[in-house]
Amino acid sequence: MPTEAEQVAAVLARAAGRHFGGPAAIEKLTRESGGASRQTWSFDAVVSGQRHGLILRRDPPVAGKIEGERSTSLDRATEFRVLAAAHRAGVRAPEPLFELLAADGLGEAYVMRRIGGTAIARKLLRDPPYAEARRLIAGQLGEILARIHATDRANLPPLGCRQAADHIAGLRRSLDLLGRPQPVFELALAWLDRRKPRPIAQPVLVHGDYRTGNYLADETGVTAILDWEGAHLGDPVEDLGWLCVKSWRFGAVDKPAGGFGSREELWRAYERAGGETVDAARAHWWEVFGTVRWGIICHNQAFRHLSGSIKSMELASIGRRAVETEVDLLQLLKSGS
Amino acid sequence: MAELLAAVADFLREEAVPALDRSHPGLGFQMRVAANSLAILEREARLGPDADRREHARLVSLLGRDGRLDDLNSELARQLRAGERDETDAALMAHLQATIADKIAIANPRWK
């Protein structure tokens, strides 16, 4: 029996050969991320003496995917098309190169170019090589987000549209599934429901998980936006609010824009790059929403562990982090309305 | 119970984590999560029972009826979703602030 890595390498050699048009040698194949379901592998393909640094994104064929995750995350084929459209719109994102075929037997999978940089928030926020980058990242994130939202919808695959009311209903469903009463989240959802922004007439491409930890950066700042599986159509301010949720500041609490700058710095850069003028009350609404959303995700992840669908100490312990978002919510509801 | 949990958590953090960081970095991270989880359990064993009693007493006074902690919280959650109470209710907000202050003191006292 070949190991999983040997099987992946053999398939990649075949697929890279098809794409680049010549025999490909696969080198330095390593598994990057832990999860059994959504895998990321890094490798080099050497074709006619030329070395290509590549990334494989892969969902192995499995029986019984997790409900809920299935409904909100994109399958790999759709993610590939969203990434292609965003890349074509000039968004700093990895260039998607080719999809694997069903006959290749790796499940849903595609290959994109590898980009340098680190996604580790702790390093970006504190390590000396990133001192200059720290001054730039908030502005760069605003600028890149304006480009994402300007992605031509004609180039996008069919995507679900989620307006504010859909999001609220979704989170209430999640709370009901958890089966434990959550007064603070109920209070916040009722607050959100009463103040929700009107449905927007021209929904745009929303990244859906635009935050520190989900982009790569090096000494010059942001190099690539990653993790597109939450993409959908909706309100552009959703991404701006999510980026400012306190949990994504990783301790740099006085820098709301992902731990690197002020909200105003982020918004002005977004507007300068062609994004719509940011309404502060609307952005506050989406920040409160994002805080509820992350709190409920924490509970969901712990629930997935407890219900036995995925066993993981990390997932089991993340449920306790929901309390952090409850502290934040009580502050947010006090500070602005 | 809290003392034993604290002793194990201290051992993991001070002895096991640094050793694993040198020999098996991936496991070092997992061990940090384990040590942190034990520290939460230690605080829960020490602070949880009193916190639950206080939460229960406040809910009885807020809702004007007695019952199990979970049932009282279900009733409060129902009232909040139905819009029967909201953030303008000072007694409600004082209760939630106190409850969450007790919970964060267990889950992560350094959160601010």
pLDDT band for position A61 (50/70/90)?
Answer: confident
Identify the CA nearest to A288 among candidates A236, A255, A241.
A241
Q: What is the mean pLDDT of chain A?
A: 91
Which of A113, A135, A162 is at the close of a domain? A113
Regarding whether A132 and A36 lie in a shared domain, the answer is no
Is residue A2 in a domain? no
Whether A76 contacts A57, CB under 8 Å:
yes
Regarding whether A134 and A107 lie in a shared domain, the answer is no
Asked whether the predicted pLDDT for residue A292 surpasses 90, the reply is: yes
Helices (H), chain A: 4-20, 69-72, 76-88, 121-126, 131-149, 164-178, 183-195, 237-243, 263-272, 280-306, 313-318, 322-335
pLDDT band for position A37 (50/70/90)?
Answer: low
Of A79-93, A97-111, B21-35, the poorest mean pLDDT is in: B21-35
Which CATH number fits the domain that encloses residue A71?
A: 3.30.200
Chain B residues in contact with A168 (beta carbon < 8 A): none
Q: How far apart are CA B20 and CA B33, in angstroms?
A: 13
Mean pLDDT of B83-107: 96
Is residue A11 in a domain? no
Mean pLDDT of B74-95: 96
Regarding whether A126 and A109 lie in a shared domain, the answer is no
Asked whether the predicted pLDDT for residue A315 surpasses 80, the reply is: no
Mean pLDDT of B95-110: 95
Which of A82, A113, A144 is at the close of a domain? A113
Regarding whether A244 and A212 lie in a shared domain, the answer is yes
State the angle between helix axes of A280-306 and A322-335 in degrees (0 to 180), rounded to the nearest 10: 160
Mean pLDDT of A274-296: 96
**For residue A56, what pLDDT is reported?**
96
Kindly report the pTM of this predicted structure: 0.91
Regarding whether A241 and A202 lie in a shared domain, the answer is yes
Mean pLDDT of A5-12: 94
Q: Phi-psi category of A251—alpha, beta or left, where left has phi over 0 and alpha has psi -120 to 50?
A: left
Check CB contact under 8 Å for B107 and A313.
no
**For residue A59, what pLDDT is reported?**
86
Is residue A13 in a domain? no
CB proximity under 8 Å: B 43-102 to A: 70, 73-74, 76-77, 80-81, 83, 86-87, 92-93, 96-97, 99-100
Exposure string for A31-63, b = 16+ CB within 10 A, e = fewer: eeeeeeebbbbebbbbbeeeebebbbbbbeeee
Q: What is the ipTM of this complex?
A: 0.91
Check CB contact under 8 Å for A184 and B74.
no
Regarding whether A169 and A212 lie in a shared domain, the answer is yes
Closest partner CB to A330 (pick from B37, B77, B100): B100
B37 touches chain A (CB under 8 A): yes
Mean pLDDT of B96-112: 94
Q: How far apart are CA B83 and CA A155, in angstroms?
A: 42
Domain ranges of chain B: 2-107
Regarding whether A126 and A94 lie in a shared domain, the answer is no
**For residue A70, what pLDDT is reported?**
45
**For residue A318, what pLDDT is reported?**
77
pLDDT tens digits for range B35-61: 888 999 999 999 999 999 999 999 999
